[in-house]
Structure 1
Amino acid sequence: MAALCESFTLCGLSPTSGVGLGGGLLALEPGPDPDHVLLTDRGRTATLFKVSDQKPLGCWSVKHGQVLTCPVVCNFETHEYIAVHDDKVLRIWKNEDINLDKVFKATLSADVHRIHSLPNGGPVVLFRGGDVRTLDALLEAPQQEIENVISDEVIKWSEAFMEGKQPVLVFTTEKDGDFFVYVQKLKTNSLHKYKLEQQELSKPMSFTAYIKNQIITLLCLCSNDCVYKVLIPLQQNTEDTEQILPKSLLLNLSVSGSVLKGTSFVVLDKDHIAILGSLTASDEEPKECLTIWNTKFQTLQTSKELPLGTSGQLWCYEERFFFTHGKVLTVIMYKCETSSLAAAVGKLKAGKSPDVSAFVNWNALGREELADSFQSQQSGALKYESKMTLRSNKNAVANVQTDNLPVGKVLRNLKDVPTRIFEDELRQLMSKAQALDLQASIGSVVTALINRYKTNPKHYHRNLLLEIVQTYDLSYSLCPDLMAVALENKDVRLLQTCLLRFPDIPEEVTYSCLEIFLSISEDYLQRIDVNLESVICYIDIDSDNKEVKTEIVENGFSPEQEEGTWDNPLAEEAHLTSDGEMCPVGPQKAALLNAILCSAYSEVFLLPHLKNLPAKEAVLFLRYLFYLYVKCSEKINTTLPGMSSPTINQIMDWMCLLLDAHFTVIVMLPEAKLFLSSMHKFVRAQIRFYSELNKIEGSLQELQRLHQQKDPQTYSIEVLEII
């Protein structure tokens, strides 16, 4: 079985971004590390990206008038980058090189079609004439004669593999409608030529291949909406005979009356392939989509519609798909599981060490499935037993016997009972939940509480919901309506607990929590029970105690060391003490904001929401972040005391996010001018301080090196003076 997982944008494809839009990219190649990719545009620029961070690590361009005619590749042995521009000019450089005009240059004697880099075999250069050379051989004599192996044929596709310790290059050519396959073994310098079997009304449009057990499996995506397989043995006795390779049908790209017009495809494993193309039906408009097919059972496993269109190019590295979608380069992660009939019908048992997430997606379970999932003890079901006779007023429920009822039925029977009875029954229900389906059981209880509130808003079981979130390992996806209801009721304590315990809160919900925390009044918060564990160790909780602290500054920085570091109006407003500015918010609000800082987020998805934050709240939040930064900088270990306190990296990341989102507004606000000036002076002092530390570190390292060189045999006293 196969599935498409989360997706994100790696980079934009606007003409000014360094990645052109001229029919897509020239190529995307793996970088020096598994998480790196190299993008080459149809122009002058190559960019190295770290995929998980969605940020460029380096960008190189040839000068005006030159054009990259070959995708940039990485030499995995030397971590150098190799490119060809203007067909014959070879360039080699490293990460630290900036100007490509000053790096190694070699002009070759023939036009290059493509360079393939192998992890253990080094780069291999394929010329347009079909000749193949290793990069090392070319660098020894760049102007060596290159043979024209193919005559009047055009190379359509090429790929390099390692078979054992031997590099093997495979490429296909076309001439007058006929397609040929060449297999070049570099170590033995042997070349085999084959001809693909022709088929009426069918023309190969895209190729891919893999090697296993000395056999090359070549796959052809053809114009008749089918994928064919061609087997090519590596062991051949003769080189002169041009064999005709038969094609066998691997996959028919039609399902439920729709046909996929594929443009490119990749092999995922022995049973799965991914195809990018246009899905067409007789009565509908074509829809571009990414699909995963099971070749063993001839089935479409999953698909994702791409409404913004693509360039028809698809790459796959490290279980990630890369393709252009509109004006961006999109990344989609995927997973492929064992392909078997048992897996296809959903009866495959988990292995001894199943890779199961600690959090389940509650939305994936239907209501009937929920009730059925608790029906038997053998399947980890939850059986509810209650022999309690409920005694209440005349309108109360009498003798509610729920022995051995599924959870769904139990919840339905409790729908109209009073609040106290309802909560008592749910607590018993949770106490009988078995470990195997504990999360699903608790999720059903939370869902019942939320549905009861939606039916009648007076039934808001705030204490029970808070108890459940604090006690059990839940997730946002398990109970997505919980935080929405808490936001509606401005239940800041429940929101704080969810932020600290849920690992998968969407950025939009995180922003909604931040907006409420900043806008709610301090007077209201003082009447609310908030968890103060994250602030109690560094914020004076007693509001009546205005005593000035005299704690010693340990990192060498003090406001008095730099004249004018703190401006008087700002100091008066913030109640300045000898160890820095006091917290601009109360302890309750500070604890709530700390929960925001400690929550997980993606910068790409959070930044658009932060831009909607009102200017007043943005300045207040920025002042609090600066206060935390000063607090962290006071200590040598740069960590705040207390439980669930934000780290200095989280504080700095949020400061950068907030400045990115509101830079123009904050600069223009008069009330932010003094604060920004103080922030600038403090950061400048910190830079000077750490610069001096770096000098001391360098001096100590040099002294340590000198001490290792000189090993006195007798007792001696040495005086070291650092100037």
Structure 2
Amino acid sequence: MAALYEATTLCVLNVGPGGSDSGISGIEPSADDDQVVVTDSARSVTVYKVSDKKALGSWTVKQGQTVTCPAIYNPQTSEYVVVTDSKVIRVWKDSDINIDRAFKTTVSADVWRVLSVPDSEPLVLFQRGAVRRLDTLLADPQQPVENVLPEEAVIRWSAVLNVEQQPCLMFLSEQKGETLLLMQRRHPDSAARYRLEGGEAPLSCSALPCDGGVRLFCLYSSGSVYESVVPIRGAGGVVEEVQPLPRTLLLNLPVGEGKLESASAVSLDDAHVALVGVPHPSAGPGKDFLCIWNTNFQTLQAAKEMAGRIYGQLWCSCGKLYVPHGKSLSVIPFKCQKSSLAAAMGKLRQAGSNVPASGLYTSVPSWTAATPDMRSTKRTLLRSRDVSFLRLNQFLEDVKIASAEEVQKKVSAFLSNLKNLHVIQVAAGGLASVLVSRCQEQPGFYPHSALVQLVHSQCLSYSVCPHLLTLALEKKDYALCQFCLQVFPDIPEAVACSCLKAFLSESDGTLDTVSLERDSVAFVEGLIANSTQEGGETQQNGFCPTTQVEDGGGGPTHTTPAVLTRSSMPLDMKCPVGLHKAVLLNEILQVAYSDCFLLLHLKTLSAPQVILFLQYLQFLYGKYSQDLHTQVSALRSPAMTQVCERVISCVRLWFFSDLIGTFSHCRFWTGSACWWTPTSQCWLWPQRQESCCPTFTRSYDYR
């Protein structure tokens, strides 16, 4: 999973004439993680302290001179380096007030970029492809520079990565409609050339090191994101022959009519890529977003609307994204959890969970993904598919003006006539987006049945239509909310917590009028009806809590009782919420989540909401402990481990006295190491024991 946090404005932009240029040519890291070097596209270089939104220093060249490449910080010498007028290299320190009085020298050829290298001297890349170390170039500025590229070739992108503990320089050049990738290493001295497939030059490139090579990500004007793995040659030598560079389609993003003109993509890690300038899959026209996509699952993980014009520029440094938009440069912290969606979905397959590994959650496809049968489809079937897409486009236009009743009939007939899986996926995604957009524009229009049918098609996910679940909450369509919670495998934690707040806030009387899924209702009905016999003994469902008995010396001793009596656990307690509210809370418990992101949003719950939620969790825990057979495998129900983990998540954030009575008799052990002792009368985490309760007596349970 991924998250975008609150944006802050770092500085005001000096927007160029016509408003088409942000005025920024580059953003580079500085002396520490909280500083960046911002170079405008005219004459100045400014160092900012990001947390304070404060300029630490600014240097401007004279009138008539121009900064021709972004400035960098050289950690080897604690100096800044910039190139003016293509050939003049300037070097200065923080203590230098006037950049014109600092060191400068003129080189023999035009410079494309000065590139910082981790733990090494910066590299200077010339416009004709030659490369020099900065220190050797400054020692002999007028040294001859060879021409690696022909005169008509233009460098479009460059980067330096540490691969196998050695710096690796790579850059893209465009010449006569052909795009070449050149890669150079010094130890051993080697160079290679590759030809990118497709012929078209990418709008944006980004690279990450990987085992034995480099992963190159390219964003094209069609909205496609391709990945190419560039191998690192073990032996030295220069390979003059141009080699083909295969590519793999990672994302095929919808771009609407036409093509992308200005957009950027930055690879954040092995599974996430940030994009700006690419339309949001469900937003209306005229809105620009910063989005983070998961390339492994082809899902939209996070999005933030950016006000004003987007210039198609994006930089990433030290866990922050820098986006120029409108008249400001915004800093947006982000967080990506590696393979977190797989980990979250793994939570659904714990022991005791009734969700099979091959069930619904792994079969929901992305409508942007290519299926195996598509690649082997014959030409006649391709023509048939083209006809289906033409019908789909016409159908979407008809849906935009039809009434809610007509929409329901049209959707049922249209989906029933589609046989091709890929067309069904595209149809479901397109229909959902069109209907949600129309509902937002026309408050009186809400085709409940059509939306439910689209969700039941199992071809939708949260990423395909992010505003569908939010719309259902706004309309208080709790039946549709339940279906979305059951079907969508990629619901963000923020949205899940919004659903939880809505369910807890709604009255039981209102929720009891909602028509919910029968199996879920049947499970809760059986749970409530199955009360414990008076005075009966109850074997815990795999949990054997320890009790503490005061000995003569005042120290606690541990015993393990065979049964848990009514005096220590009120197993016959009544359900604290209504029938349908309990059903919806059970759906929340079964939503995939990641702990680090969930805790951020649980804080928004009020104390009464938390208490009510915990009381219901206590009720579930008591019933599960009472009788193992209440968890009927044929019915949709949360697992015991899911109940315990949500208790721990809630209590981890709140330590108020109202909870003590609720859980004074409930003690259990989970892998998250939740602590409870009668002495302290509170739940504690191991890392917070002494700070929360100095007189705390540790009670360990090694089971």
8 Å CA contact 1:225, 1:262 repeated in 2: no
Q: Could you say what secondary structure the match of 2:277 adopts?
A: strand
8 Å CA contact 2:272, 2:292 repeated in 1: yes
Which residue of 600, 609, 629 corresponds with 1:444?
609
8 Å CA contact 1:259, 1:279 repeated in 2: no
Deviation at 1:63, TM superposition (A): 1.3
User: What does residue 231 of structure 2 align with?
Assistant: 233
Matches within 5 A, 1:424-503: 442-444=607-609, 473=655
- Matched residue count: 398
Q: Aligned partners of 2:145, 2:284: CA distance in 1, in Å? A: 52
Matches within 5 A, 1:1-16: 1-14=1-14
Unaligned runs of 5+ in 2: 351-493, 509-519, 529-539, 544-565, 582-601, 614-652, 657-703
8 Å CA contact 1:206, 1:222 repeated in 2: yes
Q: Could you say what secondary structure the match of 1:365 adopts?
A: helix
Q: Aligned partners of 2:169, 2:343: CA distance in 1, in Å? A: 36
Change (3 A) 1:367 1:214: same
8 Å CA contact 1:261, 1:278 repeated in 2: no
Query: CA offsets, 1:620-660, max 9 Å, x none?
Result: xxxxxxxxxxxxxxxxxxxxxxxxxxxxxxxxxxxxxxxxx
User: What does residue 173 of structure 1 align with?
Assistant: 173
Q: Aligned partners of 2:137, 2:185: CA distance in 1, in Å? A: 17
8 Å CA contact 1:87, 1:111 repeated in 2: yes
* Structure 1 residue 292 corresponds to structure 2 residue 457: no
8 Å CA contact 1:278, 1:287 repeated in 2: no
Which amino acid in structure 2 is aligned with residue 442 of structure 1? A
User: What does residue 500 of structure 2 align with?
Assistant: 365
Q: Aligned partners of 1:240, 1:294: CA distance in 2, in Å? A: 37
Deviation at 1:191, TM superposition (A): 2.2
User: What does residue 310 of structure 1 align with?
Assistant: 310
8 Å CA contact 1:217, 1:229 repeated in 2: yes
Change (3 A) 1:443 1:47: farther
Deviation at 1:21, TM superposition (A): 8.1
How many percent of aligned residue pairs carry the same amino acid? Answer: 41
Deviation at 1:379, TM superposition (A): 14
User: What does residue 243 of structure 2 align with?
Assistant: 243
Deviation at 1:32, TM superposition (A): 1.0
Q: Could you say what secondary structure the match of 1:139 adopts?
A: helix
Change (3 A) 1:14 1:25: closer
User: What does residue 48 of structure 2 align with?
Assistant: 49
User: What does residue 103 of structure 2 align with?
Assistant: 104
Larger deviation, residues 7-16 vs 339-348: 339-348
Change (3 A) 1:50 1:198: same
8 Å CA contact 1:114, 1:127 repeated in 2: yes
Q: Aligned partners of 2:496, 2:327: CA distance in 1, in Å? A: 31
Q: Aligned partners of 1:194, 1:203: CA distance in 2, in Å? A: 13
User: What does residue 34 of structure 2 align with?
Assistant: 35
Matches within 5 A, 1:371-410: 404-409=573-578
Q: Could you say what secondary structure the match of 2:147 adopts?
A: coil
Q: Could you say what secondary structure the match of 2:204 adopts?
A: strand
* Structure 1 residue 182 corresponds to structure 2 residue 182: yes
Task: State TM-score, norm by structure 1.
Answer: 0.49
* Structure 1 residue 142 corresponds to structure 2 residue 130: no
Q: Aligned partners of 1:319, 1:292: CA distance in 2, in Å? A: 13
Q: Aligned partners of 1:65, 1:440: CA distance in 2, in Å? A: 58
Which amino acid in structure 1 is aligned with residue 347 of structure 2? K
Query: CA offsets, 1:22-59, max 9 Å, x none?
Result: 44410001111011111000111111011111111111
User: What does residue 203 of structure 2 align with?
Assistant: 205
Change (3 A) 1:226 1:96: same
User: What does residue 391 of structure 1 align with?
Assistant: none
User: What does residue 123 of structure 1 align with?
Assistant: 122
Q: Aligned partners of 2:104, 2:606: CA distance in 1, in Å? A: 66
Q: Aligned partners of 1:60, 1:291: CA distance in 2, in Å? A: 33
Which amino acid in structure 1 is aligned with residue 323 of structure 2? F
Q: Aligned partners of 1:233, 1:288: CA distance in 2, in Å? A: 36
Q: Aligned partners of 2:83, 2:59: CA distance in 1, in Å? A: 13
* Structure 1 residue 215 corresponds to structure 2 residue 213: yes
8 Å CA contact 2:38, 2:45 repeated in 1: yes
8 Å CA contact 2:23, 2:42 repeated in 1: no
Q: Aligned partners of 2:603, 2:131: CA distance in 1, in Å? A: 61
* Structure 1 residue 68 corresponds to structure 2 residue 233: no
Change (3 A) 1:446 1:282: closer
Change (3 A) 1:472 1:338: closer
Matches within 5 A, 1:152-171: 152-171=152-171
Q: Could you say what secondary structure the match of 1:242 adopts?
A: strand
Which amino acid in structure 2 is aligned with residue 232 of structure 1? V
Which amino acid in structure 2 is aligned with residue 130 of structure 1? G
Deviation at 1:280, TM superposition (A): 6.8
Which amino acid in structure 2 is aligned with residue 207 of structure 1? C
Deviation at 1:288, TM superposition (A): 1.5
Q: What's the RMSD between the two structures over aligned residues?
A: 4.2
User: What does residue 553 of structure 2 align with?
Assistant: none
8 Å CA contact 2:255, 2:279 repeated in 1: no
Unaligned runs of 5+ in 1: 351-358, 381-385, 388-400, 413-436, 449-470, 475-723
Matches within 5 A, 1:260-339: 263-279=263-279, 284-339=284-339
Q: Aligned partners of 1:251, 1:130: CA distance in 2, in Å? A: 31
Query: CA offsets, 1:295-342, max 9 Å, x none?
Result: 111112222222312211001111111011210110111111132554
8 Å CA contact 2:206, 2:265 repeated in 1: yes
Q: Aligned partners of 1:405, 1:337: CA distance in 2, in Å? A: 40
8 Å CA contact 1:219, 1:229 repeated in 2: yes
Change (3 A) 1:226 1:339: same
User: What does residue 94 of structure 2 align with?
Assistant: 95
8 Å CA contact 1:258, 1:280 repeated in 2: no
Q: Could you say what secondary structure the match of 1:279 adopts?
A: coil
Which amino acid in structure 2 is aligned with residue 53 of structure 1? D
Which amino acid in structure 1 is aligned with residue 4 of structure 2? L
User: What does residue 634 of structure 1 align with?
Assistant: none
Q: Could you say what secondary structure the match of 2:145 adopts?
A: coil
8 Å CA contact 1:108, 1:142 repeated in 2: yes
Query: CA offsets, 1:129-167, max 9 Å, x none?
Result: 100000011011011001111002100000011224422
Q: Could you say what secondary structure the match of 2:128 adopts?
A: coil
Change (3 A) 1:179 1:91: same
Change (3 A) 1:472 1:171: closer
Q: Could you say what secondary structure the match of 2:136 adopts?
A: helix
8 Å CA contact 1:194, 1:245 repeated in 2: yes
Change (3 A) 1:31 1:60: same
User: What does residue 485 of structure 2 align with?
Assistant: none
Query: CA offsets, 1:208-263, max 9 Å, x none?
Result: 11122221111111122111111211116561321111222121113999998771
Which amino acid in structure 1 is aligned with residue 111 of structure 2? V
Q: Aligned partners of 1:257, 1:63: CA distance in 2, in Å? A: 45
8 Å CA contact 2:174, 2:201 repeated in 1: no
8 Å CA contact 2:45, 2:60 repeated in 1: yes
Q: Aligned partners of 1:183, 1:306: CA distance in 2, in Å? A: 35
User: What does residue 535 of structure 1 align with?
Assistant: none
Change (3 A) 1:35 1:87: same
8 Å CA contact 1:76, 1:118 repeated in 2: no
Change (3 A) 1:473 1:310: farther
Q: Aligned partners of 2:283, 2:334: CA distance in 1, in Å? A: 31
